[in-house]
Amino acid sequence: MIVLNLSCDQGHQFEGWFASRNAFGDQVAKGMVNCTHCQSAAVTAMPSGPHVRRVRHDNNSNEHPGNVLNVDNSAVQMPAPEVARQLFASLAAMARSAENVGLKFPEEARRIHYNEAPARTIRGIASSDETRELMEEGILVLPALVPPENETH
């Protein structure tokens, strides 16, 4: 299951859950994906990162079950410094446990995705264009600027 950031030809942005990027393309081709704001069927996927599902409790929602997910912005709020600390700690832990493939990140991510290399967590360097291309191929990447602890200033 993947979550895609979507946009219609009128500039409205919303999210959709799909089994895969191919499933998204098939549903768009069949006219099954519509903008949640204006119902336009001219919908395209925008670059997006990983998401966690949060359900909106809104009786006036125009969402289409199975196609679109609205985000609940009323979730329990933590103080900003604590959120930032926890986020940085999580990202730093992920970076420490991932294999650093450096500038070969796009190539190695594709090799892993297409089962040409062993599955493992990697990190490295990719341009915004390379990152967008990986996401468009359905390869899950998390763009983040997290220097290793021994490289901080």
Enter the pTM of the model. 0.44
- Sign, CA dihedral 58-18-15-121, equals positive
Q: Could you give the residue ranges of the DSSP H alpha helices within 6-79?
A: 21-29
At 51 the pLDDT is 46
Give the tens place of pLDDT for each residue, 50-106.
544 444 555 554 544 444 555 555 555 556 777 777 887 887 788 888 899 999 999
Structure letter (DSSP) for residue 150: G
- The residues spanned by each domain of the chain are 1-75, 80-151
3 beta partners: 17
CA distances from 145 to 57, 92, 96, 127 (A): 34, 10, 13, 12
Model pLDDT, residue 143? 84
Nearest alpha carbon to residue 21 among 145, 135, 152: 135
